[in-house]
Amino acid sequence: MKIFLDTADVAEIRKYAQSGLVDGVTTNPSLAAKTGKDYAESLKEITSIIKGSVSAEVLSTEYEGMLKEGRAVAKIAKNIAVKVPSTWDGLRACRAFADEGLTVNVTLCFSPVQAMLAAKAGAGFISPFIGRVDDVGEDGMGLIRDIRAIYDNYGFKTEILAASISSVSHVREAALAGADVVTMPADIFKKLMDHPLTDKGLAAFAADAKKANVTIKT
């Protein structure tokens, strides 16, 4: 399973990329707004740090506008995936971008049939929003499972990118449900390695070694 960071914060991306475990980045207009920086400038920096896919979202909701904006962000770097919404205009733009050889991430996906149409439109990634589905009392992880089943039934190669992740459990469940990618905020990524028994075990090993003067010569 690939791990993406869901942020436009360059310093945060630089920090966590050091783990060697960040396969890509997703951004959106709200995340870009939070940085207070020029979106294109941030994308330029992010694509210089991360060699994997970096999603850049269009702002226009109309086909023609999406085409112009998508082509502009795609010029920033080879590893940009153009992010378009799950709308008819978005899917039409997705088809056009895919035919031009660009990778497309279809975002704001809330239903299995939206995901099916995105795959037919040539999407490289589909982004179902788990947390936001849960927030309205529906089953976010069920959405991932349904999309997985549909894609497997028909051999669609579109990668399922579980988005809107708000807990470590979401990451575990998305992996179990067969998501290809999970994108998460940096604070969730950081928590993935937390376990009280790891801390307790380490403290005991250190105390025992100190007591018996166990050392390793370097």
Decide: is 53 part of the binding site for ligand E4P (CB under 6 A).
no
Tokens of 95: 């088809």
- Residue 46's nearest CA partner among 22, 13, 70, 73 is 13
Decide: is 28 part of the binding site for ligand E4P (CB under 6 A).
yes
Decide: is 52 part of the binding site for ligand E4P (CB under 6 A).
no
Q: Is 75 a catalytic residue?
A: no
Exposure class string for 27-63: b at 16+ Cβ within 10 A, else e: bbeebbeebeeebeebbebbbeebeebbbbbbebeeb
Q: How far is the CB of 168 from ligand E4P (least distance, A)?
A: 15
Q: How far is the CB of 23 from ligand E4P (least distance, A)?
A: 14
Residue 96, amino acid: A
Decide: is 7 part of the binding site for ligand E4P (CB under 6 A).
no
Residue 25, beta-bridge partner list: 5, 54
Please choose, out of 32-40, 126-134, 143-151, 188-196, the segment that lies near ligand E4P by the rule CB under 6 A.
Answer: 126-134
Decide: is 103 part of the binding site for ligand E4P (CB under 6 A).
no
| From candidates 79, 131, 175, 186, binder to ligand E4P by CB under 6 A | 131
- Residue 70's nearest CA partner among 108, 105, 100, 97 is 97
| From candidates 129, 151, 156, 189, binder to ligand E4P by CB under 6 A | 129
Phi, psi for 67 (deg, rounded to 5): -60, -45
Q: Compute the distance between CA of residue 166 and CA of residue 160 in angstroms, rounded to an integer.
A: 17
Tokens of 201: 């075990």
Task: Give the x-and-dash track for 146-175 against ligand E4P (CB under 6 A).
Answer: -----------------xx-----------
Decide: is 42 part of the binding site for ligand E4P (CB under 6 A).
no
**DSSP of 71-92:** HHHHTT-TTEEEEEESSHHHHH
Catalytic residue among 75, 78, 83, 190: 83
Q: Which residues are catalytic?
A: 83
**Interface residue list for ligand E4P (CB under 6 A):** 6, 26, 28, 107, 127, 129, 131-132, 163-164, 183
